[in-house]
């Protein structure tokens, strides 16, 4: 049997609206301030993106907009009132209304939108794409002051575990030379590098060795080059916030 679902757009007093008690969505103070500014600068947005409430005036979508209006001293708001949903359907809507699907095309944002406006609206550009390095995520890249004494090459890494693995590979008496070579290459991943000493060594070695050290990712001199070679990634989420 088809349920009788009624949806109507009406104006309500904020005093007659109640927050959804189990709302799982939170917002930072910074984002809350951005939301208030957005409502102030673009009030007609609420005429298109109404707060959604059930037949009892409980918010199903727009809890943060409701709080922002309260903080701004507003007394009335346009809402979309839904009558006839079950409690389970209401819970489902609360979650699905807050799921952010998809991703931003940051090249289009950078090339077709005003950066200052995007930041004002709460969408700062944090991404660099290959060929466009206008905006990089604020990543702290270590820079070292080389020590006066150049370390010995043997000091640059602890290879003890690598040596143990190499011994085991040869003791296994693997007949397939290609497989043996692959395992030996993989063993090198267990080296523990001392990047402070590597930086000290890099500063005093010859240019050919320096180029090799850069190509192998032992040092990062220019972030742009490191990005292009896949040694680091400046995408949003590089350092979880």
125-141 pLDDT per residue, tens: 665 544 444 444 444 55
The answer on pLDDT for 59 being more than 70 is yes
Whole-angstrom distance between the N-terminal and C-terminal Cα of the chain?
47
Q: Which residue has the tokens 């009406």?
A: 10
CATH topology of domain 6-96: 3.90.1530
Cα–Cα distance, 220 to 227 (Å, whole number): 10
Q: Any idea where the domains of the chain sit in the sequence?
A: 6-96, 153-219
Q: What is the pLDDT of residue 158?
A: 92
Q: What is the pLDDT of residue 15?
A: 95
pTM: 0.47
Closest of 113, 143, 109, 141 to residue 128, by C-alpha = 109
Asked whether residue 233 carries a pLDDT value surpassing 70, the answer given is no
Nearest partner of 27 among 64, 82, 66, judged by Cα: 64
pLDDT score recorded for residue 225 = 54
Q: Residue 214 has what pLDDT?
A: 85
Q: 212: number of CA atoms within 13 Å, CB side?
A: 7
The C-alpha atoms of residue 140 and residue 131 are separated, in whole angstroms, by 21
Could you report the per-residue pLDDT of 19-55, keeping only the tens digit for each? 988 777 788 888 888 889 889 998 888 888 899 999 9
């Amino acid at each position: 049997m088809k349920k009788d679902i009624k949806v109507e757009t009406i104006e309500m007093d904020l005093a007659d609206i109640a927050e959804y008690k189990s709302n799982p969505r939170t917002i930072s103070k910074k984002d809350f301030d951005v939301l208030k500014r957005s409502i102030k600068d673009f009030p007609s947005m609420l005429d298109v993106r109404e707060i959604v409430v059930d037949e009892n005036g409980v918010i199903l979508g727009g809890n943060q907009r409701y709080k922002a209006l309260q903080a701004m001293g507003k007394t009335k708001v346009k809402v979309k009132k839904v009558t006839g949903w079950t409690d389970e359907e209401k819970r489902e809507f609360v979650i699905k209304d807050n799921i952010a699907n998809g991703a931003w095309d940051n090249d289009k944002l950078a090339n077709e939108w005003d950066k200052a406006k995007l930041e004002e609206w709460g969408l700062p550009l944090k991404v660099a794409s290959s060929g466009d390095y206008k905006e990089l995520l604020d990543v702290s890249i270590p820079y070292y002051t080389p020590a006066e004494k150049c370390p010995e090459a043997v000091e640059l890494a602890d290879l003890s575990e690598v040596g143990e693995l190499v011994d085991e590979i040869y003791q296994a008496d693997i007949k397939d030379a290609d497989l043996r070579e692959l395992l030996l290459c993989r063993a090198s991943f267990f080296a523990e590098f001392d990047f402070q000493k590597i930086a000290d060594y890099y500063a005093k070695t010859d240019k050919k060795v320096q180029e090799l050290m850069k190509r192998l990712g032992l040092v990062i001199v220019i972030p742009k080059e490191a990005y292009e070679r896949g040694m680091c990634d400046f995408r949003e989420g590089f350092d979880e916030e």
